[in-house]
Amino acid sequence: MNMEWTKDKEKKILLKYRFTLTIKIIRIIAATLFFFWLYMLVVSISYDALGLDKKHLFYSRVAMDWTQPNLQENFGGIDSSEITPFLTQKMSYPVYKMIGKETELVGTKKLAKRIIPIYSTNSTEYLKPKTEREHNFYLPEHPKTGNKLEANEHPAVWTKLEKVHEGTVAELSFSTKEYKTPEEMLEFLKPYDLDVLWMPLYTGELKEYEESWWGSSETLSVTPFGFTGGREASDRYRSQSKYGLEEKFTDLNKKLMLRQMKNLLENESTSYRENFLGLSYLEERYNYLMKEGFQVYGALVTGPVKELLKLKENEQIQGANLGDMSYWNWTEE
């Protein structure tokens, strides 16, 4: 029996073929989306169960404590954490600075921990544009020759403080003309009604290793690495605490700093420390502190402007830098 081929039959066959093909494509897309959803569900559950973000967040804060003067997170604040299909861990949290007795939001810390560590990123996005380092610290003597050094002075720092209303609080950093232990620095600042937030720590720069520096034959400044309140974590980094930079906690803060340095050296790769956390020469710094102890050469403090102005008369202080100011929020003692 012969079947006559007509345009109508051809059209019906093509429509049926297109319909069947469309159904197959929809099924493939639906299956792909389902398996992708299942894959992401497994990845997300595993990520949350392992708590890998807790470790990365903890050490990013440790690194921030050491390398960024007066930057801190707000305890009890909300961390943002997610993992992408390519297993990149993205984390962020707001960062603050202490001005007087209150914190002020200054930006957001953004982290991306990738499978290939060299491509991991760690940055701070500031609310206000920053064109240069806010606080510079100057070594009191040359590490190689022992010759005494000075600091770049900015008379405008004191002039500005003199002109603002005394009902103002501010942050101010300075260098000292000689090295001190953290205990000595706290004792040195005890006569002033100020809070000590951070101290530049000498860790062997230009003596044990070639760190970047800038200055002249009379002044010398290196990338700051500092001493502040120590951190500790427990329960796989789920519980964290931080101590103040106070005399009663000084020994504990030293031990915690050395412990975290040792943990990073023993348990994390060089790429993790340097590319992700931004901690250069950590092994050299650790070895120097273990051998020579803790020596600081300045401080970052905050308090009423009338108290900050008193530092101008102290002959041991040089190279002051004025940070942010705010309305009065101090507690008179």
Residue 328 has pLDDT above 50, yes or no: yes
Q: Are 172 and 320 in contact (CB under 8 A)?
A: yes
Give me the residue label for tokens 């951190």: 231
Q: Residue 25: its pLDDT value, please?
A: 87
Q: Residue 1: its pLDDT value, please?
A: 47
Q: Residue 37: its pLDDT value, please?
A: 78
Q: Give the chain's length.
A: 333
**Residues forming beta bridges with residue 175, ordered by sequence position:** 298, 318
Q: Are 279 and 63 in contact (CB under 8 A)?
A: yes
Q: What is the mean pLDDT of the chain?
A: 89
Structure tokens of 179? 């090295």
Structure tokens of 83? 């993992």
Hey, is 99 helix, strand or coil?
A: strand
Residue 140 has pLDDT above 70, yes or no: yes
How many CB atoms are closer than 10 A to CB 219? 18
Give the model's confidence band at 22: pLDDT under 50 very low, under 70 low, under 90 confident, else very high: confident
Q: What does the radius of gyration of the chain's CA atoms come to, in whole angstroms?
A: 28
CA-CA distance, 81 to 96, in Å (whole number)? Answer: 19
Hey, which bits of 70-215 come out as E strands? Answer: 72-73, 80-83, 89-99, 102-113, 121-126, 168-180, 195-202, 213-215
How far, in Å, are 5, 150, 160 from residue 200 at the CA level?
91, 16, 24
